[in-house]
């Protein structure tokens, strides 16, 4: 099978993959737009894709590729959006990720919600965000059950890889986090979750001898998920 490398993190990719499993970069979109774009514009777009992946649970990329695809109606209220293995996902978490995506991807920084089509798009996006949060929570809590841990060195290595992928110095990276409302501690937590998920997937495919799909199906089947809506 033909392989290539991700333009953001340099990870090896298999043919036909639209999202990098290491950094969450949307490969198809990058490839289509790069053909007629100047080098500096391409670099800017790549940075945007990397930023989106970070804030949409998408630096490890794993959670993005594992949506369950089955959820009730969009969230319309209540303080708790879902409970996964006894751990809550609040509507505030969904709102925060929605606002970040809206500001960074919508025209003029805002999604059009005045038309029926705009409202439907907003509801669909919120659903996808909740989907990714649920799947991430399933994987992180199941990693705990499997007694998987991540060292500080592993977290540091992941952060170094992102800096390299974005071609940012330490100072520029600090500014990058500050401009997007993230502290170094919060970003390290993000990296820890991604590393836990990566190790969990590896444990099923390498140690247990299962395919990724079979392992994910087992993890999702044994997880207790309750989606709360009004």
The residue extents of the domains of the chain are: 70-227
pLDDT of residue 31: 46
Q: What CATH number has the domain spanning 70-227? A: 1.10.4030.10
Residues composing the chain: 230
C-alpha span between 68 and 135 (Å, rounded): 7
pLDDT of residue 3: 52
C-alpha span between 214 and 106 (Å, rounded): 36
Question: Do 7 and 25 contact (CB within 8 A), yes or no?
Answer: yes
Question: Cα-flanking dihedrals φ and ψ of residue 217, to 5°?
Answer: -65, -40
Sheet holding 87-90, edge to edge: 87-90, 80-84, 225-227
pLDDT of residue 71: 36
Positions of the chain with pLDDT lower than 50, given as ranges: 1-2, 28-37, 45-46, 48-49, 51-77, 107-108
CA geometry: angle at 47 spanning 44 and 51, to 5°?
140
* Nearest C-alpha neighbor of 71 from the set 96, 94, 102: 94
pLDDT of residue 228: 85
pLDDT of residue 210: 94
Q: Is 83 helix (H, G, I), strand (E, B) or coil?
A: strand
Q: N- to C-terminal Cα distance for the chain?
A: 47
């Amino acid at each position: 099978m033909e392989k290539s490398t991700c333009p953001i993190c340099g990870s090896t990719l298999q043919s036909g993959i639209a999202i990098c499993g290491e950094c969450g970069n949307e490969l198809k979109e990058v490839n289509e737009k790069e053909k007629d774009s100047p080098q500096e514009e391409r670099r800017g777009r790549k940075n945007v894709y990397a930023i989106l992946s970070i804030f949409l649970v998408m630096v490890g990329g794993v959670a993005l590729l594992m949506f369950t695809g089955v959820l009730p109606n969009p969230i319309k209220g209540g303080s708790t959006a879902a409970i996964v293995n006894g751990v809550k996902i609040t509507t505030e978490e969904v709102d925060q990720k929605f606002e970040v995506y809206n500001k960074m991807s919508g025209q003029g920084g805002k999604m059009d919600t005045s038309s029926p089509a705009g409202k439907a798009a907003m509801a669909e996006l919120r659903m996808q965000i909740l989907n990714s949060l649920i799947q991430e929570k399933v994987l992180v809590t199941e990693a705990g059950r499997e007694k998987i841990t991540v060292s500080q060195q592993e977290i540091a290595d992941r952060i170094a890889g992102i800096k390299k992928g974005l071609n940012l110095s330490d100072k520029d990276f600090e500014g990058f986090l500050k401009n997007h409302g993230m502290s170094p501690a919060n970003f390290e937590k993000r990296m820890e979750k991604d590393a836990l998920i990566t190790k969990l997937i590896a444990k099923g495919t390498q140690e247990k001898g299962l395919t990724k799909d079979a392992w994910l199906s087992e993890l999702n089947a044994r997880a207790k998920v309750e989606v709360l809506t009004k």
